[in-house]
Amino acid sequence: MVIVIHCTDEVGLVATISSVLANAGYNIISMREHVDVDENKFFARLVVNSILNPVEIEKQLLSVLPKNALVKVNPQPEKSIVVLVTKEYHCLTDILTRNHFKTLGAHVSCVIGNHPDLENITQRFQIPFKLVSHENKTKEQFETELQDLIKPYNPDYLVLAKFMRILSPTFIRSFPLQIINIHHSFLPAFIGASPYKQAYKRGVKIIGATAHFVTNDLDEGPIITQKITPVNHSFSLQDLIKAGRENETSALAKAMQLVFEDRVFVYSNKTVVFE
């Protein structure tokens, strides 16, 4: 059982939390904590033996923690996700393979694409595929159709596995800090379109990928994880793209693992990550 806590820092918090759990008869198997001194914020992730009444423990913790503390006692470790795609297959196939062998840490409820290209590979894994074309529609119409398909699944997270559409603030507000994106660049460098071409022209010595939460600021949401590969003058543009795709797959997989295991805290457009 995982407990995550985010609150204002004060003296004795670790002792206070430990006392609540000990008095209830629960054993702490592991505990990670971090204090942001500048922001005066406290973060903790605890693993305890099975909790019989998560609601009661959450209530007890909230009663002794600072005002406006955020506490989540997680009785359901496996999350549910909906994956959004366009045409590129590398991230999706990695997700589907992990899902098939139950190593994803979540269940893929559905894959939604704005092109039909990845329907076949999705159905091979016996996962529903839904097509929502963006052509000849306003952004509002497209996103309304998208939300209508997503809502019945009530996912914990949406994963943008190379979903090459910019989502509106209205759509993003419907899924606050629930949308995980993989960006084909080592952010904040080379944001926007054609980052590998930008990197190639600049003569970079590393190529990277960034997994982050989606916010209203394009490609500037809180970063979950990043991966890099050293490159040099001998790399062609296609070499950079190939290396980049490997980074994208790896970074997205790592980010999903961290998020699904409740290891990521978001504040002030940045993250605390307990790996």
Report the catalytic residues. Answer: 219
Its sign, for the CA torsion 100, 102, 104, 109, is positive
| Torsions phi, psi for 254 (to 5 deg) | -65, -40
**What is the β-pairing status of strands 41-48 and 70-74?**
unpaired
Eight-class DSSP state of 166 = P
Q: Where are the alpha helices (DSSP H) in 36-165?
A: 54-64, 90-100, 119-124, 139-150
Dist. CA 160–CA 150, nearest whole Å: 13
| Token pair in block for residue 199 | 């990197």
CA gap 42, 12 in Å, rounded: 11
Residue of 36, 26, 28 whose CA lies nearest to 6: 36
Surface-to-core class of residue 103, CB atoms within 10 Å of its CB (0-12 exposed, 13-18 middle, 19+ buried) = exposed
Q: How far apart, in Å, are the Cα atoms of 275 and each of 9, 28, 181, 263?
A: 21, 18, 19, 7
Rounded distance between C-alpha atoms, residue 95 and residue 103, angstroms:
9
